[in-house]
Amino acid sequence: MKNLKNLFLISVLLFAVSCSMAAKDKTNTSKASQGEVITLNKADFLTKVFNYEKNQEEWVYEGNKPCIIDFYADWCPPCKKIAPILKELAADYKEDIIIYKVNIDNEQELKALFGIQSIPSLLFVPAKGQPQMAQGALPKEVFVEQIDGFLLGK
């Protein structure tokens, strides 16, 4: 009887965890469709952008829309300067691209993987092809040029 009770508790716990994970994924998807910037951790990065643990030899983009990834830190003044620009662009281009951000203080492995030494560093990822990295607090016009030209091919 005790084993049955333990099995029941474990089942309830697993169900609760799976529901919360599904809810989180739906929240991120809905944030992107509403034109918001989405924060990524390593697990999200692996499923939404690039699974470097599975594909160690070549870049394979996991997303279905081009994206921009802002490697930033909360304490960084230039990062704070471009945050509202990225938020505007996420709203303006919500049908065409997704804008992510990765806090390098929290995600040291991603920081090392991309060799981030100065911030903000921005990774422009087309739906097909190789990504391009840019550094510094870019003006909105440069973001628009990169989105329209490199990411969307307009």
- Does residue 76 carry a catalytic annotation? yes
Which class for 98: exposed (0-12), middle (13-18), buried (19 or more C-beta within 10 A)?
A: buried
Catalytic residue (one of 73, 76, 83, 127): 76
| Rounded Cα–Cα distance for residues 141 and 79 (Å) | 17
- Does residue 19 carry a catalytic annotation? no
Catalytic residue (one of 32, 67, 68, 79): 79
Active site residues: 76, 79
